[in-house]
Structure 1
Amino acid sequence: MKIENSKWKNNPSTIGIQFLSSRSSASPPNMAAAIFLLALSLALPSASSTVAFSPKDNILIVCGANSLVNLPDGRIFKTDMGSAGYLQAKDDVHVSTEPGKGLPSPLCQTARIFQSEATYSFHLTGAGWHWIRLHFYPMNSTEHDLKTAMFSVSTDDVVLLHRFSIDANQTSSYVVKEYLLNVTQPQINLKFAPVSNSFAFINAIELVSAPDYLIPDSGSSLFPVQAYEGLNRFNYQFVYRLNVGGPPITSQNDTLGRLWENDGSYIKNKAMAANVSVPANVVKFPEDFPALIAPASVYSSAVRMADAETQQPNFNITWEFKADPNFDHMVRLHFCDIVSKSLNDLYFNVYINGKMAISGLDLSSLTNGLAVPYYKDIVVNSTLMSDSLTVQIGPMKQDTGSVNAILNGVEVLRMSSSVNSLDGEFGVDGKKAGMINRGTVAAVGFTMMFGAFVGLGAMVIKWHKRPQDWQKRNSFSSWLLPVHAGDTSFMSGSKTSLGSHKSGMYSTTFGLGRYFSFAEIQEATKNFDSNGVIGVGGFGNVYLGTIDEGTQVAIKRGNPHSEQGITEFQTEIQMLSKLRHRHLVSLIGYCDENSEMILVYEYMSNGPFRDHIYGKNLPPLSWKQRLEICIGSARGLHYLHTGTAQGIIHRDVKTTNILLDDNLVAKVADFGLSKDAAIGQGHVSTAVKGSFGYLDPEYFRRQQLTEKSDVYSFGVVLLEALCARPALNPQLPREQVNLAEWAMQWKRKGLLAKIIDPHLQGSINPESLKKFAEAAEKCLAEHGVDRPSMGDVLWNLEYALQLQEAFTEGKSEEESEESPEAMAASPTVSSPLPAADPAVETREPEGETRGNDLADIQNTEHSGTNMFAQFAHLEGR
C-alpha cells in the first residue's frame, strides 16, 4: 500500500482505513490484520505529525519564474513576475537554468538579481510570529557570477543579513536562511541592498504564520541558572535544528515546513553514542503540550550512551556547533524517555559550554510517564561563548538507577541584539550594538576600575572643599549625583547640594547630550522673557528658546523650591538618558551652572494632541491624521514597554502628553512619573499617581502598576481622538462625566457612531471605526490581564488606517463622478457630542493634574489640564 500524502504517514488509523478500502476482496487473515491495526490506532494517542495548522499568512514566492512551482511536500510557490505586486525594484533582471537532477530543489531553477536596492512588500492578515525563509542558490549564469554577490537583507525593523555572500568553503552552495520574527504591523517590507560594486540575488521567499506558542515568554538562563523572562521580545534566526539519533526530517514530514538534520556530523566522538528509536505512535503527547513544538518523529528517536561505555560514568556525549560569539543564543533541547523500562530509573545531567544547564534530569517525574515529550529553553549569554557552542549529556555519577543519558533533538537559535540585528553589529537605523571584543575585556575592566578610583578620589577632595553654606544651595549637580555622602534621601528635602561639577561630566556619564552654559540659556530665552513661556507647572516654567542661529528648542527651568518638581526632574532625566525613539520627545542637552536645573528638549511646534481635537480654535484633524497620531503614540509606548531590557511604564499617558511636531508626527512626552518595570514580577507596587480620567482602575484599587496601566490610559486617549471631548468633564450630566464609561455604554449598544466628533461624520469608513472601537474597548478592560499589549494595539490601529485609506480612495473616485446637486442632497448625521459646544470646552477647570499619592488623588476633585512636559501652547498645570 502506498501512502501518497505525507500527512497520513505514521497514523495507524488512516493506514487501517486505507487498507480496508483498498482490499475489498481481502482474505480473512488480511481483513483481521487491518481491523487489528485500526483498533490499535484508536487505543494510542495521535502523534503531533498529524496535527493540522492553518497559517493566517502563507506567502510562498519563487523569484524570477514565469510559472508556479510545485514542491514534493505539496506546497505551491507563486511567481513574483507580472501583476504579483510584491516587488519594487529599479532593475528587472532574472536568470534561470535548465531543470536537472543536479539541482537541490525546484526552487533553484530561477533567481532574481538586483543591482540596486529593491524591496518586497507583503500585506499580512494577522500579527504575531512569522517564519521568513530565504532561499539562495548561486546557479550558473553567463552574465552574473552569483557566487560573487554580496548584499544585506533587512525588514523595516530587523537586520537579517549583513554583507552576505555564499561561502565557497561550505559543502553545499544551496543555503536557506530561516528566521522567526514577531511582526506587529500589517505590512512587512523585505529590503535587499547590494554593497558597492556588487549585486544581490534571491531564489525564493517564504513568509508564513507560526503558532503563537512556538516561542514562550519564559525560559532559563545558563549562568546563573535561573528563570529568564521576556523571550518573546526578541527576534530569532534558526542556526541549527537536529533530529538526534534519527534520519533527516523534511517539510513533507513537518507540519510547519521545517527541516531537521541528522546529528551525526556534530557528535565529537561517535563511539560514545548509540542511536535508539521507537515507532512514532508510541510517543504520548499530553493534552496541554504544544504539539507542534516538534514532530513525533523527533521524540521517537534519540541518542543514548553506548553500551560499551555505560560502565564508565565519567564521560559525556558531546555535540559541537559553530556559533557567533557576538550574539546571545537560545538552545532548545528536546527529550523523550524511550529507553527506560520503569519510572524514576533515568537521571542524567545536561551541560552547555561546559556549564551545568540541567542537573539530575528525571523525565518521568516531569512528565508523569515514559515516552512523553518534554523540552527546555536555555539562554546562553554571549559572554559565555567562544566561536563554538557545545551541548553535552552524561549520567549523574551517583547510584540513582541506570547509568545512561539521552537526547532527542536540539535547536540553536540566534537572538536579536540590542539594535535588533541578527547579523552584524549595526541595526536598521545604523546604530551599533554594544558588542564585546573579548580580547579587550581585561583592559577595559582595568581602565574602568582605575577611572572609578580617580572619580571617587575627586569626589572626596571636592567634598572636603565644599563651601560652608553648601546645604543652603540648590544645584542641578546634586540632583544628578546618584550617591550623596552623609544624606539618607535625595536632596534631604530639596535642600542638599554638592556644588557644581565641570561641564560635560554628565553628558558622557548619563547620556544627557550637549552641555549649555547658563549664558547660552539666557541668550536663547532672552533672559527668561515671560513672553516666551510656553508651559507652567509645579517644577517651574518651560520657555521657547532659540539656539544655533535659529533652531527652536523647549527649555525647562526647574524650581529648586519644589520637591515634587525636583523628584520629577530626576525621574525624567533618568528615563530620557536611556531612551531614543522617533516617537519620544528627545532630550538635546542640559545646563548645570549657578545652582540651576535646566533641561533642553526638541521643540514640538504643534503642541499637544488635545489642542487639535478640542479646547482650541484650531483646524479639525481628519480621521486619517488622528489615526496616524494614535499610531505614532502607540509606537512610542510600545518602545517604552519593550525597547529596553527592563521595560518602562509611562504612568501618565494622555492627550496633553502626546506632542506634535511640524509635520504632526506624534511624540510621547513627560516621563516625570515613569517607572522601570520589575524584572521577574508582574507588577510594581507603588503609590498611585497619574491623572484622573486616565487612571487604570485596577492600579487605583491595588496600587500595583503594570504596563497594562498605560494600555488603559491609551484607551482613553483613543476615545478622546474619536469623540473630541475631555476624559473627565464635571460640567456634563452625571452619566457623561467620565468619557470611558459613557463611550463604552454607547459602544455596547452599537451606537458609538452617534457620539463621534461631528467633524468626522460621513468621513469614517465604518470598518475602520469598528476596528478602532474594538481596540479602545480592549484597552479599557477592567482587569489588566484582559487588555492587549501595546504591540497588539498598534497592529489594530495600523489595520484601521489601512481600511480608512482604502475607503478614502474609493470615495474620492465616487465623488468625482457625482454632481454637486447629489452631493448637497447627501444626508448628515447629527451628534449629541457635548464637547462640540464651545461653552463646554472653556469651562474645563485649570490646575494641578496629578495627585502625588493615593491621598492626593482621593482629595482631588478633578484633573485634566496640561502637564509640565508639554513644551508648546501650554496653559498651566
Structure 2
Amino acid sequence: MAAIAQQLLNPVVVFYISLFFLSMNSIVVIVNSAADTTFTPSDNYLIDCGSSSTSNLHNGKTFKSDKQSTSYLSTKSDIQVAVPSADVPSPIYLTARIFVEESTYVFRMVRPGWHWIRLHFFPMENSEFDLTHSVFSVETDDVVLLHSFSITNKTTWIMKEYLLNVTTERVTLRFSPLRNSAAFINAIEVVSAPDSLISDVGSSIVPIGEFTGLSTHSYQTLYRLNMGGATITPNNDTLGRTWEPDLRYLMARGLAKTVSVAPSIITYPEGVSPLIAPNLVYATAIEMADARVTNPNFNVTWRFDIDPAFGYVLRLHFCDIVSKALNDLYFNVYINGKMAISALDLSSITGDLAVPYYKDIVANASVLSDKLMIQIGPINQETGSVNAILNGLEVLKMSNSVGSLDGEFGVDGSKSSSAGTKGTVAAVGFAMMFGAFVGLGAMVIKWYKRPQDWERRNSFSSWLLPLHAGHSSFMTGSKNSGGSQKSGYGNFYSSTLGLGRYFSFAELQEATKNFDQNAVIGVGGFGNVYIGVLDDGTQVAVKRGNPQSEQGITEFQTEIQMLSKLRHRHLVSLIGYCDENSEMILVYEYMSNGPLRDHLYGKNLPPLSWKQRLEISIGAARGLHYLHTGAAQGIIHRDVKTTNILLDENLIAKMADFGLSKNAPTMEQTHVSTAVKGSFGYLDPEYFRRQQLTDKSDVYSFGVVLFEVLCARPAINPALPREQVNLAEWAMQWKRKGLLDKVIDPHLVGVINPESMKKFAEAAEKCLADYGVDRPSMGDVLWNLEYALQLQEASSQAKKDEENRAAAEAATAAAPSPRAVIPPIPTTADVKANADHRSTGGDDDDDEPAAQVHAISEDSGTAMFAKQLTEINGR
C-alpha cells in the first residue's frame, strides 16, 4: 500500500490523474450541452381529425385519430370527410371533422406551463359542405384564438400556431360556427414547450425601458424567419418549428447580402439555450451589401403586414459570423423608424464571435401602423466596419387586454366563469368607470379630471391613445368587463383609458387664437372646427361643440366612445378633449389637405390624377373595412361621404366624424333598429325604408362616394335637370348603357385606363344594389379597388416603356453615323518608333481601352450616353 501511495504521489502520475478528471469534467459539460439541444414534451397530443386511423408523417410525427380517444371530442353533431389526394404537404390535410354547432376538444395536461397549440385547416371539397363558405371562431376557456375565421381559397392550407401559458389541468378548444355556417378542423397539436422559451422581461420602445409581464400573455406566431438561409423544417428544429426564408419580405434586395458559415462553429453561451433557435438560424445572416451607392450608410429593411390593434413581441436573433476580429461591428436596429437598439456591439455582449444572442422587443400601437418595418444599419461613425447583420426574426402577436388574439373582445363571460376575476384591480375600477360613462355621459369625464394641469400633461395618457381600453365590455360594465386582462399591457391600457390628453380651455383658446373665426376650417351639426397650434408646434383640428345642442352632447359622447377603441392609419386620430364648464371640445390630428370633396369640385384646387383618386378610395375603404371587422363588435359609420374623408399632407385618406356611428349588430342579430340618420344622396334606400341599419348601409354610401370620385360632382345637385339631380341614379343609368366614359370628370378623359375604370365602376355599381344582401363587404370592395389600381399602374408602365423606347429610337435615328477614319499609311520612321517603344517596356495597346472602360464605369448611364453622343457629333 505504501508503494502504491508513493507511486500516486509521483508528479507525472499526478499530472495524468488531474488531466483525466479534467477530461471527465469536459465530457460532462459537453453532454449537458447536448442535452440542452433536445426537449421531450410532457404533453404531446397530435390529433388527425376525422381520420379513422393513425397517420405517420415523414418528419417522424404520429397523429392519432380523434376516434381513438372519446375523451378528446365532445359534440352533438359532426361530420367526417376525407379526400383521396390533394396538393397538400401532409396527409393530415386529407381528412377533416365538420361541426354544425358548438363543439369542443378537451386535452388533459400532465404539467402546466407553456404549450404550443397548432391548428391545421384545409377547405377540402366534399359533398357535405362547401368549406370555403365556413365562418367560425375558435377559443379556449381563456383566450380567443380565431374570430370569424374563414378560408375562401379551395387550394389553400393554413397552419395557425399559438403559444399559451397553461395554468389549468386541461386545455379546451371550442369551435363555434357563425352566420348559419359550419366549423371544421383537419388536425390539432397541443404540445408542451420549454419554460425557458418566453421570459417575463423584454424591452419596450415607447415608453423606452424595461417591459415586464410577458409571461402573462398568450401569443400567435405571425412570422418566423431564417435570414439569409433556406427553409428550416420541423425535422431540423427540436421544437417542431418552421423557419421560412426572409427574401419575400426584404425590400431593396440589392442593398442586402447573404452570408453563411458551417453550423458546427456556432457556440451557445451560458444562459442561451439551443432551444431558443437552432444553430442553422445563427449560421446564416443578412448583412449590408456593397451596393455601390454614394452614401454607404444605408439601412436594410424588411416589411410585414400586421394588425395595429395588437401589441407584438419581436424576437431578434444575432450572431456575428461576419467579423474577422472582436469589437469591429457596431450597428443600429430600428422598428418603424424608431430606434430599438442603438450601437449594438455583439462582441462586448457575447465575448466572442459566432456566439448567439437574442433580444425581445415589445412594440405597441404607438409605434405600429398596418405595416411593420424592421431595419438594420451602421452607426454612421468611424468605428469599425460599416456593416449590420440580422440572423433571424420572430414576430409574435400578443393577446390584448381582454385575452384575445383575434378581434378586440374576450371570451364570453357565460363560458368562462373566471373571466371577471382575471383583470387587475385597476382594470375592474376603470371598467366600472366606463360602465358609468354610458349612463352619465359627460359627467364621468368631469369626474376623471384632476386638479393639477401638470399631472394631465405629463401622464401617459397625454401621449398615447390606447386601443383596447374602450372595448365594449368596458363600456357596458358587464361582469366580463375585466376580461382576461393581465399585467404588462393590461395595466398600461387601463391607466390611459383612451381619452387621450386632457386640455384646459385656456390651452385651446391659446392654440386657436381665442377661437378666431379666421381659423375655422369646417362647420357641422356638432359645431365649428378650428385649426390650432399647440405649445409644442403641433397643428391640430379643434372641434368645439355647441353647448345648446342636445345633438352635440350625444355626438360628443359617441365620438369619444368610438375613437377610444379605434386606431388605424386610415382613421383620424383623437388626440384629446376638454370638458371644462359647459365646453365640449375634441382635439384631432390635423389633416392639412382637408376633405376629399374639396379636391373633386367647388374649390378650384388642382385636379387629382386617376391614380391619386384610386389610392384615396383604397385608403377610405381600408378605414371602413377596419371599422366593420377590426373592432370588437364592429362599427357602422352611418355618415360616409366625401366631406368625412379627410386627406393629410401626403394625400393619405382617413375616415372622420364618428358622431353618428353605431355598434354593428351582434352575431345573434341581423340589423340594428334605429332612427334614420345620415346625409341625403348617400342614404341607403333599404335603411331609409325599414329603419334597419347594417354595415351594408355604409357600403351603399361608399358606392356614391366612388361615383363622386369618378364624375367629380355632388351626390345631390338640385340645380341640374331632374334626371341628373341624384348622382347615384344618374351614373347608374350611364353605366347600364355602357357609356359611363361620357360623364366622367373631363380631367380624366384620355388618361384613365379603360379596364381600370371598368373595374372601378363595377365596384361602385355593386355597392349600390337595392338590397343589402346583394352588396359586397367592404373587404370585397377594397379588393376590387386595389385591382383597379394595379390595372392603371400596369397601363401607365407599359405606356412609359413605349415612350422610352420611341425616344431611344428617335435619338438613334437623329444621331449622324460616325465617319470611318482611314489611318494614314505608316512611314518607316513610325514603325521604328513603335518598335522602340515596345522594346523599352512601354504600355501595351490594350491598356488604353481598359482605362477608358474604367472611366466610363464611374459615370452614370445618362452621362455616359451624353458623352458618347458628344464624341460622335464632334468627329
**TM-score, normalized by length of structure 2?**
0.46
**TM-score, normalized by length of structure 1?**
0.46
Task: Tell me which of the two structures has the higher relative contact order, counting C-alpha pairs closer than 8 angstroms and 6 or more residues apart.
Answer: 1
Q: Please tell me whether Structure 1 or Structure 2 has the larger radius of gyration of its CA atoms.
A: 2
